[in-house]
Every structure is written in structure tokens, then in C-alpha cells.
Structure 1
């Protein structure tokens, strides 16, 4: 809710990094299978709708084609009665300008990163929500093993700075990009109560879908338990980031709460 608004990336990346290090041996095994060692997750701000027409209700979305970049947003798109379209990022400008899609599901700073400013007329950042995380600093397992414990600790220090830096920068740009868009005449919309309710209902239902789907496709047996653990960590991190008002504070928070607790004599070895 309002507690995480404007801080979604900071909450999510803290929760996901803590979860993967300490609550998911299966995740670390998957990295090991690729001869990699996990050292944290990062990503930007929350995803919304970047459009060429107004969107405030489920009726506005009905039958509309939306460009999505991941399966979770594709499932949301179908749940609200729209059609997901997959295309590469470098086709987004043309698709939006020619009306091939009505909206792109995107984080607002990406409007600038992908040069979409000229073709966006309407923005609604209320739905679908959720950031796009990546494991951005994992390291080759042989290299990790060759490092001294002090060097591994330094690597994790650097990883905590990277994990914090990206969501911090995205959230700093988020307000600026939206303000600049408004100055150019772009309309900022808000989702009506019904669309927010539909989105929340989708999220709840999708948790069960993910647990079942990942069991079938990837043999993940603890799906429900993992989701419950992760949701608890999201709650915890929503509280922890409340008073963060600088990038360094976020780096220190991630270091103290997560990265400094990784046992460099065992992790990835």
C-alpha cells in the first residue's frame, strides 16, 4: 500500500536478496548448477502503464493490446481483459506511435531510457505494479573459490552497493520523469477502485498459480512455503526502508541486514 509507494524496488530487492541467500537453498543450487555463486538481486522501480490513450478502468483495458516483458504481467493483462503482446524493447516506440499497442507495461524511468517520450500521451503507474529483478552481480564459482575470505567479503560489500544503487536511482528518477511528462502535456491517470481490486485479486490468485506452475515446470516442491516466507520478508523490508533517505543509507541497511551475515567460509563453496 502507501507504505511502499515510491519505495517498491528498495523493499523488493532487500526481501529478494535476503530470501535467496538465507531461505532458498534450491535457488543457490540452481546457481551452482551453472557454475555461478549468487551475490544479490537488484532492479528498478515498480511497473505501470505507459500508453497512447487514457486508462483508468478495466473497461478502458478491455481488448487492448499491451506490450509486456514478463509472464507475470502477461497473466495480469489477460486477467483484466486485455491481450498481452511480446516484442523486443527496440520495437516499443514504433508499436506505441502506430497504435499497434495501447500501452506498454514499464517502469517510468524507462520512458527516458528507451526514448519513448514523444509517443507517450497517458500514464497510469497504479497498476499492474511489481519491479523487474535480476541477479546482477553473481560470480563464476571457480573465481569465487580462488578468493580469500577478505576478498569475498569485499565482493559482497560491492554487491550490496550495486543492489541498493539501482532501485535508489530508479526511484529518484521516477518522480522527475513523471513531472517532466506532465510538463509536456502527458496526462497522469489513476486506476479506479474496481481496477485496483481486480489487480489485488489477481495477485492473490497468481500466488497459487505460480506455486503449482513452478512445481510442474521446474520441480519446485516448496512453492507455497517459499511464497509465504517471501511475503513475510516483504513486510519486514517495507518497515526497514521507511526512514531511508540517501543511497548510502540504503547500502548500509542492505549490508547490515543481509550481506554482512553471509558466511563467506561456506556460501558458494
Structure 2
């Protein structure tokens, strides 16, 4: 795989064409292991361009030809609502599985997703989630295996703001609005007196353009990455936590089991750099979007009433996450939530002075991935 999106796109198209003909072998047959990685978002998005694609490239290069990878992005093979099933059934070999869209199918890891509102330190959240899922969550592993998946890494979006088609400054301004929300921002939106509208990120522009929603909860980079800035010119800095995606780097279990120990170790070795690249890439895109010359965004600092309303809603987030998990039949939902929050507090100290992609990748490796035994 080359270090260019052009080559990646070519391989994406090749994968889509082969799969549309019912052929899973979308890549050359001379490699011992072939991995078609499905992603519904565009290759240019920072999660892909700075995280997943470099990960696949590094694994392919370091394998010496034993592993051949194809990034099938932009919805060429999977959509947000079909990814989980496509991975289970072997339509793709690896995937970014958007956990928040599968609350019934993935209730265990959605306990973690629903803690996002109380994890505004995203670097710490990512570290904590990887630690718990990789090293201390048997229920997460069992859930993944039921869906024919192997967990290799988690990532999270940067803190959520409100991007609106009209100015929003106070708690009263939010009441009655229709807000695109997902994960923890659904109960948050309800608590603010607004109506949550849950659609995949790939469909946000359309519902915003049609006036079906007034605001979007999301990271600022969506202004440019999803072109929301063409419509939503008012950005409210509410810092409403994050939406973690525990199932970011997922491999089909059958593919994992067929790999040699060296191949498995290679995937684990390169996962921290992918996670760090995706985080810092998203953060840089946030800054670039907000500071884009001529974009005309109004950056709004919410008043005390809106800040207080969000803080009040966040105060119940832990119990809400536990209750939702228990309603979905998750045994030990409270224990899992407590593990994540304990790890999160520890990671807040670990990441306090980490301000580079390289240092963050090393920290993730030292604290988590180096402690994981491939094949276990």
C-alpha cells in the first residue's frame, strides 16, 4: 500500500468492484492474509487519513508481503447501519464499527459509549477505554466474539460542541430545538428540553439542509469534513463530552485466528500509532475548521444558564449509563462503568503533559498494548 490517498482510493474501488460481483478476494492472491477494511466515511476524514489508512499501510509494509490490505471507504462496501453485519458475515475482514448505532446488538460496549458526557478529557478517555477493553473486560471480548470480531483499538471524537443554523446562547434558546444527537448526547438533548434526532454522521448534512434539525452535536471538524459549515454558521462551545467508539479497529475473528503469532503481534504493535494519529488528526482538523479564513463562523460562548443545564444533565450520566446497560441485560454494567471511570481518572494524570502524537502513541503502547498477549 502506498502512502497516498490516490492509491488507497484505487484499491477501494477495486474492492468495491470485486465485492459487488460476489468475490471476497478484492486484493492480490499472493499474500498469506488479505484484509479488506470497511469504513462508511470518506478516506480524507482524519480518523481514516491519519489513523486507519496509515495503520493498514504500516502493517502491510512490515509484514513483508504476508498481509495485503485494502481500505474500502466512503461507503463503497459498508454503511453505518450495515458495518456490524458485514463484518460478521465476511463481506469485509476488518472495519470501523460505529458502536453508538448498535445499542441492542452491542449493549456491553455501549455502557462505555454512554459515559462520554463525563469524559471531556479525550486523551484520557481513549487511554482508559483501550486499557479496560483490551486488558480487563471479559464481557467486551465475549460480546465481540458473538459478532465474529476481534478488538484491536478504540478511539474517540474530540469534545462535542453545538453547531447551529441560528444563534444559541442560553438554556432557553435550546428549548424546543431539534438537535442531531447520538450516544450520550441523546439524553443530554432531552434534558435540555430539545428533541434528539438520531441519524448517522454521513446523513447529517442532508437533514440540516432540509431543516429537519436546527443544531448538531459534534466535533468542530465536521464543519469542514462534513461541509456542515455551509449551513451551520453558529458554533456554541459547550464542551459536551465526547462520543467514544470502542470498536474502532476491529478484525473478523476468523481472520485473526488464521493469522500467525507474528502477524497478530504486528497488528497490536501498530495500533497505538493509529489511535494517536486519529486523535491528533481530528484535533488539528477542529482547530483548522474553527480558524478557517473567510468561513464566517460565529463562535459563541454559552451563558451561565446553558453551562449549568449541561452540567446538571451530566451529573446523572454515570447512573444513566448503568441503567441503560442493565435494561439491555448487561450483567455487571455498574462494575464496567466503574472500571472505566477509575481508569479515566488515572489516565488524566498520565496524559497531563503529553502534547505530541508520538508521545501519546508511546504511552498507549507502554500502558496498554505492550501488556496484551496476541492470541489470547
**TM-score normalised per structure 2:** 0.64
Q: Could you say which structure has the greater relative contact order, defined with CA pairs below 8 angstroms and 6 or more residues apart?
A: 1
Tell me the distance in 1 between the aligned counterparts of 2:131 and 2:360: 14
Q: Is this contact kept in 1: 2:129–2:246, CA < 8 A?
A: no
**Residue by residue, what CA displacement relative to the aligned partner does 1:78-135 show, whole Å, maximum 9, x if unpaired?**
1011111233545433443454322111111111111122212210132422134242
Query: Aligned partners of 2:202, 2:154: CA distance in 1, in Å?
Result: 25
CA distance in 2, matches of 1:112, 1:178: 9
Residue of structure 1 equivalent to 2:297: 186
Tell me the residue number matched to 1:42.
155
For residue 24 of structure 1, report the CA deviation from its aligned partner.
1.2
* Aligned residues of 2:156 and 2:242 also touching (Cα < 8 A): no
- Residues in 2 aligned to 1:196 and 1:261: alpha-carbon distance in whole angstroms: 40
Aligned to 1:4: none
Matched with 1:103 is 215
Q: Which runs of 5+ in 1 are unaligned?
A: 1-6
| CA offsets 1:147-177 (integer angstroms, 9 cap, x no match) | 3333222110122222221111011121121
The alignment partner of 1:41 has SS state of strand
Q: Which residue of 1 aligns with 2:348?
A: 238
Report whether the alignment pairs 1:87 with 2:235: no
Residues 186-208 of structure 1 deviation map (CA, whole Å, 9 limit, x = unaligned): 11112223322322222231321
* Number of equivalences: 257
Q: Deviations over 1:202-246 (max 9, x none)?
A: 2231321221221121x2121222212211111122222222232
Q: Which residue of 2 aligns with 1:3?
A: none
Question: How do 1:67-86 and structure 2 match up within 5 A?
Answer: 67-68=180-181, 70-86=182-198
Change beyond 3 A, Cα 1:94–1:254: same
Between 58-67 and 115-124, report the one with greater CA deviation.
115-124
CA RMSD of aligned residues (A): 2.0
Contact 1:47–1:105 (CA under 8 A) maintained in structure 2: yes
Please tell me whether residue 16 in structure 1 is matched to residue 129 in structure 2: yes
Cα–Cα, structure 1 residues 35 and 95, in superposed 2: closer, same or farther, change >3 Å?
Answer: closer
Q: Distance in 2 between matches of 1:43 and 1:166?
A: 9
Is the aligned partner of 1:202 residue 2:313?
yes
Corresponding residue SS for 2:235: strand
Alignment partners' CA distance in 1, 2:334 and 2:202 = 37
Q: What is the rounded CA distance, in whole Å, between the counterparts of 1:238 and 1:10 in structure 2?
A: 8
Aligned-pair CA distance for 1:46: 1.6
Structure with greater proportional helix content: 1
Q: Given the superposition, is the C-alpha separation of residues 133 and 89 from structure 1 closer, same or farther in structure 2, using an over 3 Å criterion?
A: closer
For 1:132 and 1:124, locate their aligned partners in 2 and report how far apart those are by CA, in whole Å.
Answer: 21
Counterparts of 1:153-232 in structure 2 under 5 Å? 153-180=265-292, 183-217=294-328, 219-232=329-342
Task: Provide the rounded CA distance (Å) in 2 between the counterparts of 1:87 and 1:147.
Answer: 36
CA distance in 2, matches of 1:213, 1:220: 9
1:122 and 2:241 aligned: no
| Conserved 8 A contact 2:157-2:242 | no
Matched, 1:137 2:249: yes
- Report SS of the residue matched to 2:249: coil
